[in-house]
């Protein structure tokens, strides 16, 4: 039995902020942002829009696409670094919003790699019999932890959510392999300078961009090769790569390192910026709904984030 993706969904805040509007708030330009990142716009959560509310909207769409009812869901794993509260988990808030009285529900925190961690956990639990259908979500409101006076970081991120439904089925389709990594020696390169047990405040995001870029290209290429080898495939077998949408330069460099043509890479960073744990499922939903990704396609999901954490999954869609 494998965990098969039966439905996908995504959600974005109402407010879209393009680079021109951002240039009125901070010392930057559209040209500067596009040249260095490929980002042209992002969505920013407003009043009443939270990580859990965006996650719920994406979840409703994914469940509907799967042809299921909320009560069919036996497991919710929600990846986020920006939960609504320190506790309870945002997963339990989504559970309540969906009207599910009893199921397994918890959050996973691995920043931008969070969705890959959540997917791997849910896959193991579905194959182990803990649930027949699982809801895996990546959702973030990174705008709430940005320093809006730091032009090197605030231009990079946006808010959003993506979700998918996994069901256990026999056959060729499903998650073929996952590989996850972490190296905490580098946690001072991408972090938030606050927390309940250190400062008692939420804090703001801090990043050493050049160092993160250098590690990202190497780690992502390595883990993509690793997961394809585990699944018994070559890069040439891949129909689509759905990467973490951090930076267009990282996407291009990773594809070149693997010898993959750019037209096989799903890109949404120009529209959504970096939505952390939401970026992979959000990009996946876009490519499924516009018809690029078809049943039977071999797709590879990959991400790297603060910690450092990184991972990948090979999936027969």
Q: Which of 19, 219, 247, 274 is catalytic?
A: 274
Active-site annotation holds for 244: yes
CB 267 within 8 A of CB 260: no
Q: Which of 103, 112, 154, 219 is catalytic?
A: 112
- C-alpha to C-alpha distance for 137 and 315, rounded to whole angstroms: 17
- C-alpha to C-alpha distance for 160 and 115, rounded to whole angstroms: 13
CB 242 within 8 A of CB 283: yes
- Other beta carbons within 10 angstroms of residue 47's beta carbon come to 5
Q: Which of 19, 244, 247, 272 is catalytic?
A: 244
Q: Kindly tell me the sign of the dihedral angle through the C-alpha atoms of 256, 262, 268, 273.
A: positive
Q: Which two tokens stand for residue 176?
A: 């073929």
Q: Which two tokens stand for residue 94?
A: 């989504």
Task: Describe the crossing of helices 90-98 and 51-65 by its angle, rounded to 10 degrees.
Answer: 50
CB 224 within 8 A of CB 181: no
Strands (E), the chain: 2-11, 15-18, 41-44, 75-79, 104-108, 133-141, 159-169, 174-182, 190-192, 205-207, 240-243, 298-305, 309-316
- C-alpha to C-alpha distance for 280 and 4, rounded to whole angstroms: 17
Nearest to 114 by CA among 94, 85, 138, 88: 138
Phi, psi of 35 (to 5 degrees): -60, -40
Active-site annotation holds for 274: yes
- Other beta carbons within 10 angstroms of residue 86's beta carbon come to 9
Tell me what percent of the chain is helix, strand and coil, each rounded to the nearest 5: 40, 30, 30
Q: Token match 């920013």: residue?
A: 44
Q: Which residues are catalytic?
A: 112, 244, 274
């Amino acid at each position: 039995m494998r965990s098969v993706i039966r439905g996908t969904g995504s959600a974005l805040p109402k407010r879209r902020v393009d680079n021109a509007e951002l240039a009125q708030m901070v010392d930057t330009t559209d040209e500067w942002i596009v040249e260095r990142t490929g980002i042209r716009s992002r969505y920013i959560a407003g009043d009443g829009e939270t990580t859990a509310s965006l996650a719920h909207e994406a979840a409703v769409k994914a469940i509907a696409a799967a042809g299921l009812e909320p009560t069919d869901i036996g497991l919710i794993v929600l990846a986020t670094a920006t939960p609504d509260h320190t506790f309870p988990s945002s997963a339990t808030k989504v559970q309540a919003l969906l009207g599910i009285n009893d199921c397994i529900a918890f959050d996973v925190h691995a920043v931008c790699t969070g969705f890959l961690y959540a997917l791997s956990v849910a896959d193991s639990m579905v194959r182990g019999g803990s649930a027949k259908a699982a809801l895996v979500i990546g959702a973030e409101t990174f705008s709430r932890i940005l320093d809006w006076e730091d032009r090197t970081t605030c231009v990079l991120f946006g808010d959003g959510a993506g979700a998918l439904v996994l069901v256990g089925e026999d056959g060729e389709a499903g998650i073929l392999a996952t590989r996850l990594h972490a190296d905490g020696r580098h946690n001072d390169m991408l972090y938030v300078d606050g927390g309940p047990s250190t400062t008692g405040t939420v804090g703001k995001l801090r990043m050493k961009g050049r160092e993160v870029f250098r590690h990202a290209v190497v780690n992502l290429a390595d883990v993509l090769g690793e997961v394809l080898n585990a699944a018994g495939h070559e890069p040439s077998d891949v129909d689509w790569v759905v990467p973490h949408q951090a930076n267009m330069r990282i996407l291009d460099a990773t594809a070149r390192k693997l010898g993959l043509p750019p037209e096989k890479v799903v890109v949404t960073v120009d529209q959504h910026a970096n939505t952390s744990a939401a970026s992979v499922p959000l990009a996946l939903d876009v490519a499924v709904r516009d018809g690029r990704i078809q049943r039977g396609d071999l797709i590879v999901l990959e991400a790297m984030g603060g910690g450092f954490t990184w991972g990948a999954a090979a999936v027969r869609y």
